[in-house]
Amino acid sequence: MQQIKQMLDQNPAEISTPCYFYSVSKLQQNFEALKAALGTQVIVSVKANSNTDLLIRASHFLTDGVEVASIKELQGIVGGDRTRYVNNPSADKVFLRAAVSGKARLIIDSLAQLEIVAELAQKRPPAGIILRLNPVVLKQFNDAHPKVRPDQFGMDWDTACIAIDICKANNLPLMGFHLFKGSYSFERSAMATVDSVKGIIAGMERRYGQPLSFANLGGGFSERWQESEFDFAAYREKLAELPQHITLAHESGRGLMASAGYFAVRVRYVKQIESQHYAICDGGIAQNFLLAQTENALRKLKTPALWQAEPSDAKAACTFVGSSCSKDDVIGKQSDEHVLPKPGDVCIFDHCGAYNASYTVAPFLQLPQATTYIVE
Ligand SMILES: Cc1ncc(COP(=O)(O)O)c(C=O)c1O
């Protein structure tokens, strides 16, 4: 935040709003902290932030691989030596062929996808096959596993067994399995999942007749996971009970990216309707869909930090609105202990590095897209 304000102090006209700022050093801190907390590989879920410049600038420390869910995301990951995981239940032959050609590891969601890969493998063997297991398998291997919200991803155990047989019959390089219980799911069932995983590894190796090499235990870390009271040391001890020949990984989107990103808009006008002040900004829901929280039943709008073009100290409650003419384009709120913005001031929202840009659909009213600045 300080760095962004300094950039604005130095040359405000050069900062084109609305814009995102992504901090490479904050991303590195988050990555290293999560890796140390878990004691495993940490794979980056690109869907949270697919900004190519950021991913290139971070490539020297994001060393455990990236997970992509579309051909476009796959193409955005430059550097042939980066470990890439392809994971999407709807991945078709075109996408799977591109993934095989690009030497990506394939996270297989269904038998139909595996059949396509078996056919492609006759010409070019894939770099690795990982079977995505549906969370129902966790309960099957550990009756005490907490309930996980049902989802449509991956395979149940019987299907996974058929998939293992297909891998054997077609000489496909089965590495292991992938689990994902959903966003924000980590703490609630992390320990129980490790107990399930013990049984899953043994069961899969028995069926495959060979040792596996890899297990991705999923993720579901919140954007503020560092503030949680979860006992990571106990978790690392529990992971040490798993067979040593398996490389363990977790994956994260928001836990790595959210706090590395900021979103900024300029105030164009300030007006008052009866006692209510409104700051009308040059960007909003059309560049940062999540900020308006239209998907939340209870909106808890963020209060932006203010960079002032000219200092002032008049304080007032204020609602920050975007540029889309939509009644729902309300992106922030402040109470009356904050300085009232003036036209030309810049409002900076923190924790906007995950999904804020990538989950924003094509801009309404053909409004301009946000500019992106990568800061060290
Ligand atoms: C398979 C998979 N992995 C990782 C993620 C990233 O989740 P989060 O950003 O909550 O870490 C998602 C999100 O949808 C996902 O579907």
Q: Whose CA is nearest to atom 6 of ligand 1?
A: 253
pLDDT digits (tens, 9 = 90+) for 24-68: 999 999 999 999 999 999 999 999 999 999 999 999 999 999 999
Residue 38 lies in a domain: no
Mutation to probe ligand 1, out of 183, 185, 217 (largest number of atoms < 8 A from CB) = 183
Residue 108 lies in a domain: yes
Tokens of 26: 């904050």
Task: Determine the distance separating the centroid of ligand 1 and the alpha carbon of 252, expressed in angstroms.
Answer: 6
Domain carrying residue 174: 83-252
* Predicted local distance difference test score (pLDDT) of residue 76: 86
Q: What is the mean pLDDT of residues 205-217?
A: 98
* Predicted local distance difference test score (pLDDT) of residue 80: 61
Taking Cα atoms as reference points, which of 54, 20, 11 lies closest to residue 265?
Answer: 20
Q: CA distances (Å), 338 to each of 1, 4, 224, 310, 369, in order?
A: 17, 19, 24, 16, 29
Please state the pTM of the whole predicted model: 0.96
Whether the CB of 207 sits within 6 Å of ligand 1:
no
Does the CA dihedral 169-171-130-358 come out positive or negative? negative
Domain end position, chosen among 208, 237, 252: 252
pLDDT digits (tens, 9 = 90+) for 144-176: 999 999 999 999 999 999 999 999 999 999 999
CATH number for 296: 2.40.37.10
| Number of domain units in the chain | 2
Q: Using an 8 Å Cβ cutoff, are 178 and 131 in contact?
A: yes
Question: Does 298 lie in the same domain as 204?
Answer: no
Tokens of 109: 């969601």
Q: Three-state SS for 38?
A: helix
Task: Determine the distance separating the centroid of ligand 1 and the alpha carbon of 16, expressed in angstroms.
Answer: 31
Question: Does 213 lie in the same domain as 103?
Answer: yes
Residue 26 lies in a domain: no
* Predicted local distance difference test score (pLDDT) of residue 78: 73
Whether the CB of 341 sits within 6 Å of ligand 1:
no
Q: Which residues pair with residue 269 across a beta bridge?
A: 280
Task: Determine the distance separating the centroid of ligand 1 and the alpha carbon of 183, expressed in angstroms.
Answer: 6
pLDDT digits (tens, 9 = 90+) for 76-99: 887 668 899 999 999 999 999 999
Task: Determine the distance separating the centroid of ligand 1 and the alpha carbon of 181, expressed in angstroms.
Answer: 9
Task: Determine the distance separating the centroid of ligand 1 and the alpha carbon of 93, expressed in angstroms.
Answer: 23
- Look at residue 363 and tell me whether its pLDDT is greater than 80: no
* Predicted local distance difference test score (pLDDT) of residue 231: 98
Q: Using an 8 Å Cβ cutoff, are 16 and 373 in contact?
A: no
